[in-house]
Amino acid sequence: MTVLSGKDLPRDGEQLQGPALDARLARTWGDAPGLWGWITTTDHKRIGIRYIVTGMVFLVLAGLSALWMRLQLATPENSMMTPDRYNQLFTMHGTTMMFLFAVPIMEAMAIYLVPLMIGTRNISFPRLNAFSYWMYLAGGVMIWVAFVLNIGPDAGWFSYTPLSGPQFSPGKRVDIWAQMITFTEVAALAVAVELVATILKQRAPGMTLARMPLFVWGALVTAFMVIFSMPSVALASSLLIADRLIGTHFYNAAEHGDPLLWQHLFWFFGHPEVYIIFLPATGFVSHITEAFSRRPVFAYPAMVLSLVTTGLLAFGVWVHHMFATGLPRLGYSFYTAATLAVSIPAAIQIFCWIATMWDGRPRFRVPLLYVVAFIVTFVIGGLSGVMQASVPIDLQVHDTYFVVAHFHYVLVGGAVFPLLGAFTYWFPKFTGRMMDDRLGKIAFWMIFIGFQVAFFPMHFLGLMGMPRRVYTYPTNMGWDELNLLATIGSFVVAAAFLVFIVNAIFSLARGAVAGANPWDAPGLEWATSSPPPQYNFPHIPVVSSRTPLWDNRNHLPVMTGLRVDDRELLLTSVMEAIPDVRDPSAMPSAWPLWAAMATTCLFISSIFTPWAVVIGAFPVAAALIGWFWPKSPPGPEPVIE
Amino acid sequence: MRRRLLLPIPLFVLVSGCAGIQSVSDDAGRESGLIWSLFVLFGIVTAIFYVAVIAFLIAAYWRRGGSNQDGLPDEGGVTRERSLRTAFFLWTGAVIGSLSLLALASYFTDRGLASVNPENKPMVGIDLVANQWWWDVRYHYDDPSQNIRTANEIHLPAGVPAMISLKSNDVIHSFWVPNLAGKQDLIPGRINDIVLMPRRIGHYRAQCAEYCGLQHAHMALDVIVESPADFQRWEAAQRQPAPAPATPLAQAGYAYVTSRECSTCHNIAGTNANGTVAPDLTHVAGRRTIAAGTLPMNRAGLYAWIADPQGAKPGNNMPTVGLNADELHAVAAYLETLK
Amino acid sequence: MTLPVRFAGDLAELPTSAFGHRSLTWWGIVAFFLIEGTTFALAIGTYFYLMGGEQTWPPAPFSPPNPIAGTIFTVLLLLSEIPNTLAKRAAERKDLRALRKYLLIVCAMCAVMVIPRAFEFASLNVSWKDNAYGSVIWTLLFLHVTNFLTDFADSLVLAGLLFTKHSVESRRFVDAAENAMYWRFVWLCWLPIYVLIYWLPRWVS
């Protein structure tokens, strides 16, 4: 075996830069051409885009199921659909929005953006990243195939036991739902692990924690929240499957179990989930506000502290979903206090964003319009959330349309509007082209107004006594006109999404060419070309402030010396981001796909026989060994010293 | 700005104004009154904060003045940080202060709700058992022979507290009479209770408020608050067995109901129909609705329900018996006599 | 157009592997510890939640599990930490021969431990189908068996790898050190579960 010293290896530097370096890195970091390259890629950008597009497809599916429901509810005593169809629809809508759209799309944005924002060549554990996508896809396809076959789940997105238990939901519907949870948990946890390692160890030299972009902070806090909350729903759904398939009694009151155990485990995950969706969105808002206000975000330390506090408090509020279950009344006060406290960091963030605009020179382009829509809408949802923190008020509005209005204001206002803004903002980075401004504005106003028309009336419907999850309602309750209005609004929103999607497709082909930094934004992701090359940056950038591109207008400081003949990353120290280790990065591989297929077989067949868990473990183990087996032959560097 | 501040108040009036038979914005019960007052307080405080946020946002829009020179603010451009910092601390203080105020208001309202029967008046005792998708109602008394069983309808005397114990036979349901009080879940394996303190005579509607399966939408409960004298008359009438059928048609219906499918599930006191798994029919014709609020209680409703229960409420546990026309006339005629 | 660059330093002299928190995989493994640890903690929470609703524990008429097999397993598991620590030290000083030896000893001990582990299921004195108490102690045991078998398999593969040409890469030593860390996690998680399955029902009944 040849032993090469460090000096003989090809590296970037004075001798190797410019087009020659680009060509060399493109060879090293490029994928195989065609379908094989598509299957085997470990490029965080390709996987990120794939994740984003799939998430958008699920958004459309969930949106269509909402439209279908709104048609049914447009008039009282409507017999357009059977209750069974309606119950499947709202279950699919909620499940898809929460598990297949909102959480994955936020992680997908992080998969794409975080490595670029922190100046590294790829995400940590790139094969795990590929595996995560395949698992997510398999789970989503499984549940939608089940829906098309009319065995879609029908117990609601939080599937309360015992309604979802073996006695009251016979058949396979709920098993499919619970197993979909397992798929998406595996996918989400994998991404969380990658993001934690990437953010803590792969930041560009000089990017101390105090210089980290706010979206990266959001992604980091979110990743930890995923790590601490998702095991709860994974455990809950596994116990549910065990109750249903092998006869355990966790949720069976007749055999010493307790249906409320499900609610505790589910909401211990379910409430942090809301912040898992919201915190990355606050990152979008911060970046857009900063770039378009021409001023660094006001009170960055307060913003970081708010993110972290929200992440911690989110784990202390789950019982506010259970105020009507008759738990000891005194304990409720704690959860009221914690729930009210969560609104403090949100209020601080809202102030800081507006202060940034107030103090800057805001240019109201489409992304910033979405930020304004976010503030106008999300604050309403936040304030109605403050109302529901109060036990007495919650006992009245819980499980009514008031709550439906509340969480749509929070989730659409707080996450979807920022996401659409972010999509418009980073679209030039993703594709190299700008989205059309005029179509963008049309879509924006339609979504903003349509949303208010669809959801604001629901506050009143709730106060007028309309419970949620009813497939029809009597005519003499005074609910007819507001329901019709909500249906009209929902169709305006749908049309707006159509305009948005048409704009994206049109701009992809015909949009104005963007260049590296079309918005003159300050973050590192704008330092590389649009779309970025496979290796992200020809040289590893060096950072000395929170807004590197605004502070280095003429030259970007970089570091050289990573190998260009093999995939190599720079690891830096956790706090100060001091260069520490050159670390190899995984090559493209089909093993993640084979492992995902084996795991999919295991999960799906375990719905039918528990032995699948035992037998199915062997192909999974084989695939994992193939995945982690070192590449042959061992590289020229290093050897045992 | 003043007009914006006043905006929420007409909204509350609007909502209060159209308080229907299933409305949160009512004070027909002591609890609902307390909660609605708290809601209005929360509404006003949160509206003030909303107006403040929007005002700040509008100010930020107006202030973008010198934005013609499209570029980064120069070094001098950041000097306004100091006044912003002051505003930041004021804002945070205002948020924390108001939240504390609201938390206290909520806490004291909650305490007020907990002491619902401070004078320890004797209470009406009701066992409410939820089933997919109907309500089994039992009034119990010190003398068990006085107990009453009915379904899908509760009568309450105004001004007298009622202690309702809540159980479920199958899945989780939630008992909610918004005009009187907040909701409380009925959970298998547990017994919850709720005390209602109705103050105003009237007819109210309760509805299951926890998704409980296929016919969750059709699981309502009529709540009739009446004067104590009317309530006592109702109690006395409920204790009577079913009246004997008088007309030949009703007699034919009686024969059918007591000898065929109906009697396996339904109970009619004073006859040999003594099923227990379905609503008690002893005084069914005296109620306002059929099948937990699905259809009105009248001849058309009875015909529709008996002929095709799966049409009006698909998936419910009452099978389509397949009566011929004569049987249908007879059964409906008999049930109509069960006042 | 991208910005012109200014060279501010060179990374060529940096090492290509490091132990502990300087390694990327170490962070990945710590994150997995957090995930598995949270799962165990929640399963233990479920145990106490169900216990809180009972008059007696285990609920009548069941008797507590027989602790013999579980105790033998526990003793072996704790003893295996000795070769495990030696293996970790050998990895950190990059002593391939010692590492091979100690890792094989750990694997051999694991193989022996499978026997008492199998008898543990038979000594629970309750089926998962009997009641929620049975369900939860079976689940705790099952979760830990999965954890144990996963790292057993991982150690076997790693041991195998050390006898191939890939053993010369310095990353193998990092892998071995991290595998040893994982093994510590396995027995740390087991100790509370051992108490909850075998001893707590005796103490409270």
Residue C104 in any domain: the answer is yes
Q: What is the pLDDT of residue B81?
A: 74
Q: d(Cα A155, Cα A174) in Å, to the nearest integer?
A: 7
State the chains in contact with C (3 or more Cβ–Cβ pairs under 8 Å).
A
Q: d(Cα A155, Cα B25) in Å, to the nearest integer?
A: 30
Q: Does A399 touch chain B (CB under 8 A)?
A: yes
DSSP H helices, chain B, are 2-6, 8-17, 30-62, 81-114, 228-239, 248-259, 262-265, 299-307, 309-312, 325-336
Q: d(Cα A276, Cα A106) in Å, to the nearest integer?
A: 8
Q: Does C20 touch chain A (CB under 8 A)?
A: no
For residue B177, which of B150, B151, B154, B148 has the smallest C-alpha distance?
B154
- CA-based end-to-end distance of chain C: 75
Q: Does A400 touch chain B (CB under 8 A)?
A: yes
Chain C residue closest in CA terms to A197: C27
Determine, for residues A294 and B72 on separate chains, whether the beta-carbon distance falls below 8 Å: yes
Q: Which two tokens mark A55? A: 């998430």
Q: What pairing do the DSSP bridges indicate for beta strands B173-175 and B184-186? A: antiparallel
Say if residues A391 and A323 touch (Cβ distance below 8 Å). Answer: yes
Instruction: Tell me the one-letter amino acid at A45.
Output: K
> What is residue A316's DSSP assignment?
G
CA atoms within 13 A of residue B338's CA, in its CB half-sphere: 29
Q: Residue B96 class from Cβ within 10 Å (0-12 exposed, 13-18 middle, 19+ buried)?
A: middle
Residue A494, pLDDT > 90, answer: yes
Q: What is the pLDDT of residue A554?
A: 87
Determine, for residues C14 and A14 on separate chains, whether the beta-carbon distance falls below 8 Å: no
Mean pLDDT of chain C: 93
Cα dihedral angle (B258, B262, B266, B267), rounded to 10 degrees? Answer: 0
DSSP H helices, A314-436, are 329-359, 366-389, 391-397, 401-408, 417-431
Determine, for residues B18 and A386 on separate chains, whether the beta-carbon distance falls below 8 Å: no
Angle (deg, nearest 10), helices A44-73 and A480-510 = 150
Q: What is the pLDDT of residue A635?
A: 59
Say if residues A399 and A468 touch (Cβ distance below 8 Å). Answer: yes
Q: How many structural domains compose chain C?
A: 1
Q: What is the pLDDT of residue B160?
A: 94
Q: Does A69 touch chain B (CB under 8 A)?
A: no
Cα–chain-centroid distance for residue A467?
29
Place of tokens 């940590």: A124
Q: Assign residue B294 a region (left: φ > 0; alpha: ψ between -120 and 50; beta: otherwise).
A: alpha
Residue C7 in any domain: the answer is no
Residue C8 in any domain: the answer is no
Mutation for testing the B interface, residue in A93, A243, A325 having most B CBs under 10 Å: A325
Chain C residue closest in CA terms to A639: C169
Reduced 3-state DSSP string for A55-120: HHHHHHHHHHHHHHHHHHHCCCCCCCCCHHHHHHHHHHHHHHHHHHHHHHHHHHHHHHHHHHHCCC
Q: What is the pLDDT of residue C167?
A: 79
Show the domain range for C27.
23-204
Determine, for residues A246 and C12 on separate chains, whether the beta-carbon distance falls below 8 Å: no
pLDDT in tens, A3-31: 445 567 889 988 898 999 999 999 999 99
| Contacts C138 to A, Cβ<8 Å | 248
- Give the contacts of A334 (CB within 8 A, at least 6 positions apart): A316
Residue B11, pLDDT > 60, answer: no
* Phi then psi dihedrals of residue B203, to 5 deg: -105, 125
Residue C14 in any domain: the answer is no
Q: How far is C188 from chain A (nearest CA, A)?
A: 19
Q: Which two tokens mark A423? A: 């999509």
Instruction: Tell me the one-letter amino acid at A157.
Output: W
Residue B2's pLDDT band, with cuts at 50, 70 and 90, is very low
Q: Residue C4 class from Cβ within 10 Å (0-12 exposed, 13-18 middle, 19+ buried)?
A: exposed
* Phi then psi dihedrals of residue A182, to 5 deg: -60, -45
Angle ∠(A625,A627,A633) on CA atoms, nearest 5: 95
Tell me what the mean pLDDT of segment A331-349 comes to.
Answer: 93
Q: What is the pLDDT of residue B121?
A: 82
Handedness of CA A522, A527, A529, A532 (dihedral sign): negative
Q: What is the pLDDT of residue A388?
A: 95
Question: Which regions of chain C are under pLDDT 70?
Answer: 1
Tell me what the mean pLDDT of segment A21-46 comes to.
Answer: 95
Q: d(Cα A230, Cα C29) in Å, to the nearest integer?
A: 17
3-state class (DSSP) for residue A168: coil
Say if residues A308 and A214 touch (Cβ distance below 8 Å). Answer: no
| Contacts A396 to B, Cβ<8 Å | 24, 32, 35, 39, 178, 182-183
Tell me what the mean pLDDT of segment A444-466 comes to.
Answer: 97
Say if residues B305 and B294 touch (Cβ distance below 8 Å). Answer: yes
Instruction: Tell me the one-letter amino acid at B331.
Output: V
Q: d(Cα B211, Cα A471) in Å, to the nearest integer?
A: 11
| Contacts A555 to C, Cβ<8 Å | 3-6
pLDDT in tens, A270-291: 999 999 999 999 999 999 999 9
Residue B7, pLDDT > 50, answer: no
Residue C1 in any domain: the answer is no
Q: What is the pLDDT of residue B72?
A: 54
3-state class (DSSP) for residue B178: coil
| Contacts A389 to B, Cβ<8 Å | 106
Q: What is the pLDDT of residue A501?
A: 97
Angle ∠(A287,A293,A297) on CA atoms, nearest 5: 50
Residue B1, pLDDT > 60, answer: no
Among the partner-chain residues B78, B185, B215, the one whose CB lies closest to the CB of A326 is B185
Mutation for testing the A interface, residue in B39, B53, B54 having most A CBs under 10 Å: B53
DSSP H helices, C53-169, are 68-79, 81-92, 96-122, 132-161
For residue B287, which of B135, B157, B162 has the smallest C-alpha distance?
B135
Residue B80, pLDDT > 70, answer: no
Reduced 3-state DSSP string for A337-349: HHHHHHHHHHHHH
Q: Which two tokens mark A77? A: 């005593």
Kindly calculate the radius of gyration of chain B based on its CA atoms and give it in whole angstroms: 28
Determine, for residues A634 and C161 on separate chains, whether the beta-carbon distance falls below 8 Å: no
Angle (deg, nearest 10), helices C170-194 and C68-79 = 150
pLDDT in tens, A103-142: 999 999 999 999 999 999 999 999 999 999 999 999 999 9
Mutation for testing the C interface, residue in A118, A249, A267, A585 having most C CBs under 10 Å: A249
- CA-based end-to-end distance of chain A: 15
Among the partner-chain residues C23, C28, C128, the one whose CB lies closest to the CB of A246 is C128
* Phi then psi dihedrals of residue A123, to 5 deg: -70, 160
Chain B residue closest in CA terms to A469: B211
- In 10 A of CB B170, how many CB atoms? 18
Among the partner-chain residues A168, A352, A477, the one whose CB lies closest to the CB of B213 is A168
pLDDT in tens, B230-280: 999 999 999 999 999 999 999 999 999 999 889 999 999 999 999 999 999
Instruction: Tell me the one-letter amino acid at B104.
Output: L
Mutation for testing the A interface, residue in B62, B110, B133 having most A CBs under 10 Å: B110
Among the partner-chain residues C129, C136, C153, the one whose CB lies closest to the CB of A621 is C153
Q: How far is B28 from chain A (nearest CA, A)?
A: 14
- Count contacts between A and B (CB, < 8 Å): 258
Residue C9 in any domain: the answer is no
Q: Residue B159 class from Cβ within 10 Å (0-12 exposed, 13-18 middle, 19+ buried)?
A: middle
Residue B120's pLDDT band, with cuts at 50, 70 and 90, is confident
Residue C18 in any domain: the answer is no
Residue C10 in any domain: the answer is no
Residue A627, pLDDT > 50, answer: yes
Please report, for residues A497, B1, B188, B278, the alpha-carbon distance to residue A163 in angstroms, rounded to integers and kept in the order given.
35, 50, 11, 20
Q: Which CATH number fits the domain that encloses residue C46?
A: 1.20.120.80
Q: What is the pLDDT of residue A330?
A: 78
Determine, for residues B171 and A160 on separate chains, whether the beta-carbon distance falls below 8 Å: yes
